[in-house]
Chain A
Amino acid sequence: MRAQLGYGLLTIGTAAAALGLVTTAAGIVRKQGRLLELGRRYVVLVLLAALGAFVVMETALFGHDFSLQYVADNVARATPGLYTFTAAWAALEGSILLWGLLLSVYVAATAWRFRRRADDPLVAWATLVQFAVLLFFFALMLFAANPFKQVSGLVPLDGRGPNPLLQNHPLVAIHPPMLYAGLVGFTIPFSFAIAALVTARFGEGWLADVRRTTLIAWGFLTAGIVLGAWWSYAVLGWGGYWGWDPVENASFLPWLTATAFIHSVMVQERRGMLRVWNLSLVLATFCLTILGTFLTRSGVVNSVHAFSQSAIGPWLLTFLGICAFTAVGLVAWRGDKLRAPGRIDSPVSREAAFLLNNLLFAGFALVVLTGTVFPLLVEALQNKQISVGQPYFERLGVPIGIALLFLMAIGPVLPWRAASGELLRSRLLIPAWAGGLTLLIAVAAGARGIANVLAFALGAFTVASIGRSATIGVRARRHVHKDEGWAHATTRTVRGNPRLYGGLLVHLGVVVIAVALATTAGWTTRRELQLNPGESATVRGHQVTFLDREVDRSPQKTTIKARVRIAGVGSFAPAISTFPNAAEGIGTPSIHTTPWRDWYLTLSSSPTSGRVTIGVQVGTMVMWLWIGGLIMVIGTAVALVPARRRRVREPEAVTAPPEDEQPVPLVEVTS
């Protein structure tokens, strides 16, 4: 029953996407607004079909409808409610369904936003591209990865349950949807970029149209990546959070190009330059998300994320080929029309900083892409299995990261066009002192490694420079509105230019993450202890005692816990759980987190009696990685708030500059 209903809904979705595509195409060819309007309505049908199919899937999961292959494979009667819900994206078919649903939401929201501009050729072409992408993903479900496939033969009495790694931590409920909401969102800027190329409308209009969607998608992707690192830390038990695993790289690649775009788009808005570049970044971001889906979902790479493998590889590869070919072809075709007016006047200017920032982000993306795809190429061409060692990514990624941190420190205070020495001196004086002092303190405190020391110094530099910009903004406001308190004036200042202050907040989050990366890299100790019950060992001056072991049995899993006491820290219970559906058990680390120290205990071997091996890792400031991510997401949200329009009666501008400041705003971001 559910199989037919779900499959029917998917068919309706596919048909609606196809009809929308054809109608919109006809509307474009015949230049009939009525057809375009009609075509646009199919979006609603696609959205309803996707939503319906997703609901059917959830009811099947909760109803333990094991006549569906997907349900039988991913849920068992003993699976707790949360993991039954998340099982909807625990394997390939379901995750494509979630992908399709999120894509329809984005497309529907875009259609709603441009409802008054449906007959604008730019919007019409964008809608066409969106329908094409929708059609691809619906057809994928219909023909290659049907989530509603029925089991062959007898309906099993119980299902297998989700992969053990996917029923062990609640983060599984938010990490994948966040990541998908990010990756899927880049379809919208992609569609507008294609539309701009086709209609030859390279004015800055289309950029303004997609700026908000790009930022939303970027915010989700950032959240998804940070949550993924957290999941890796809290679940996988290796004590790390980022391993340059192909699948981690797959989510990081579009993030890099999207971040480059978010910056360089300001140059185009302000100066009309970098048009080809911006278009290419948008197109590349989308192609990289498809490449990422291919890497993650087709089973070509062996990684912790290869939860499900199937025959959708060729489909995705073909789609990737079509997208990349179209994109490159269009850019080449329109190349001569894309020549932008204006050029960079001085190497010490905001636009030059943005350009360098973009080169670094693009270079970073090239490094990661090469390291990720190279093993696949070697295996395909020479049939040899190789991997690219982490040192490759670290030796190249760290200098690029430091250079980006440096640009983040000085970029926002550079003026457009050209900077005078005096201006720079006044703006960089305090931050430079902050950076220099921090550098000395860090070295005195025992920071080792150029990269770590620089991360602290540049972090302090950036924070001081952000603090200075914000203080001056608020002071200027209070200079005009003398009756306002500090808190009120701060809120008003931020509301007056959310894009600027949101951006600075994101930068602050990046600094927090950079500092946390440096401290975790520089101050982490790891020890392996072999202890009999009652025995103790000393780690970092704390006595670690293995008390005893405890066995928990439930229908979902059997857990062996080692009860450990660390004097002055607390009680721990690292565990190994075995699930009925998997031969190998999985470890669950036991973590004690404070803002300064993380005690991270793992159980390495679990004989039912006698000596155990316990891994003890003491990390420094790990928590700030997640806090930094949170700040970045909040900053993105702030940047999305519409700027408050000035009321007419309010004084138009700052009449008298604050005492030590030129009237030029420090950081200008056009909105």
Chain B
Amino acid sequence: MRLRYGIIALVCVGAVVWMVVLLQRNVVFFKTVSEAVHDERSDGTRSMRIGGGVVAASIQRRADGVDFELSQGGATVRVHHTGSEPALFKDCAPVVAEGHWSARASKTFDSTRLLIKHDNNYEPPKSATAKCPDDPLGR
């Protein structure tokens, strides 16, 4: 009987440890483009999300994805995205890219998932301006 409880306890502890390990492995930090550029060296190729605005006229579509530039707070990175793009992905759109820094070149981010950061405030559309707003994330 005691042995059986011991085994059960061991299995439970093992399961919890496994859970914590998986949790740690799958934590994805969110950084704005300027924060991400600042931490580029220390972050290496760990996975994270970076947020910024799509630089006007920077979108170049490929067969398997899209290349574009993302900027925020005066910093700009080149994003190499593989996969589908969200509806309404366009110039100036506030975008969050999930992926990691590329091993090939600096300031290049390999993205596997793109999200549009929807704005919760219903602002009536402002007159179209040529320049993207300064703070694309509205923070």
Which residue numbers of A lie inside 8 Å of B, CB to CB? 160, 163, 237-238, 304, 306-307, 309, 363, 366-367, 370-371, 374, 378, 384-392, 395-396, 526, 528, 530, 576, 580-587, 602-606, 613, 615
Contacts and interface: CB of A to CB of B under 8 A. Distances in A.
Contacts of A370: 19, 23
A605 B88 contact: yes
A239 to B, nearest CB: 8
Contact of A585 (B22, B25, B65, B88): B88
Nearest to B64: A528
B116 A581 contact: no
A587 B87 contact: yes
A391 B87 contact: no
Interface residues of B, number: 33
A604 B29 CA distance: 27
A72 to B, nearest CB: 11
B37 to A, nearest CB: 16
Q: Which of A367, A530, A606 has the most CB of B within 10 A?
A: A367
Interface stretch (B69-77, B101-109, B123-131): B123-131
B34 interface: no
A388 B23 CA distance: 7
A396 B61 contact: no
A602 B87 contact: yes
Interface of B: 15, 18-19, 22-23, 25-31, 47, 49, 61, 65, 84-90, 93, 116, 118-120, 122-126
B13 to A, nearest CB: 12
| In the A-B complex, the 8 residue pairs with the closest CB atoms | A587-B87, A392-B26, A385-B30, A389-B26, A581-B122, A583-B125, A387-B28, A389-B28
A605 B49 contact: no
A576 B87 contact: yes
Contacts of B118: 304, 584
Contacts of A304: 118
A526 B28 contact: no
Contacts of B49: 387
Contacts of A367: 19
Contacts of B30: 385-387
B1 to A, nearest CB: 10
A604 B86 contact: yes
Contacts of B122: 160, 163, 581-582
Contacts of A396: 18-19, 22
A646 B95 CA distance: 65
Contacts of A606: 88
Nearest to A387: B28
A388 B88 contact: no
Given A576-B87, A584-B118, A386 B27 contact: yes
B88 A530 contact: no
Nearest to B23: A392
Contacts of A576: 87-88
A367 B26 CA distance: 13
Contacts of A587: 87-88
A388 B28 contact: yes
B27 A583 contact: no
Nearest to B117: A302
Contacts of A384: 29
11 contacts: A307-B120, A309-B120, A370-B19, A378-B27, A386-B29, A391-B26, A528-B84, A583-B125, A584-B88, A603-B87, A605-B85
Q: Which of A304, A306, A389 has the most CB of B within 10 A?
A: A389
B22 A395 contact: yes
A245 to B, nearest CB: 11
A390 B19 CA distance: 13
Contacts of B89: 604-605
B23 A374 contact: yes
A284 to B, nearest CB: 18
A584 B28 contact: no
Contacts of B25: 391-392
B51 to A, nearest CB: 9
A604 B85 contact: yes
A583 B61 contact: no
A66 to B, nearest CB: 15
B40 to A, nearest CB: 17
Contacts of A309: 120
A470 to B, nearest CB: 35
B32 to A, nearest CB: 9
Contacts of A306: 120
Given A370-B19, A604-B86, 10 more contacts: A163-B122, A237-B87, A366-B19, A582-B122, A583-B119, A583-B125, A586-B88, A587-B88, A605-B90, A606-B88
A363 B15 contact: yes
Contacts of A374: 23, 27
Given A363-B15, A580-B124, A583-B123, A385 B29 contact: yes
B126 A583 contact: yes
B87 A604 contact: yes
A605 B66 CA distance: 13
A153 B64 CA distance: 53
A378 B19 CA distance: 17
Nearest to B65: A528
A160 B118 CA distance: 17
Contacts of B119: 582-584
Nearest to A367: B19
Nearest to A391: B26
A367 B122 CA distance: 35
B35 to A, nearest CB: 10
Contacts of A392: 22-23, 25-26
B124 A388 contact: no
A528 B88 CA distance: 14
Contacts of B120: 306-307, 309
Given A306-B120, A386-B29, A389-B27, A613 B126 contact: no
B31 to A, nearest CB: 8
Given A304-B118, A307-B120, A384-B29, A528 B85 contact: yes
A613 B61 contact: yes
Nearest to A582: B122
A593 to B, nearest CB: 20
A389 B99 CA distance: 11
A145 B78 CA distance: 44
A392 B27 CA distance: 9
A247 to B, nearest CB: 14
A604 B84 contact: yes
A605 B84 CA distance: 12
A234 to B, nearest CB: 14
A386 B87 contact: no
Contacts of B47: 389
A586 B85 CA distance: 14
A320 to B, nearest CB: 23
A386 B23 CA distance: 12
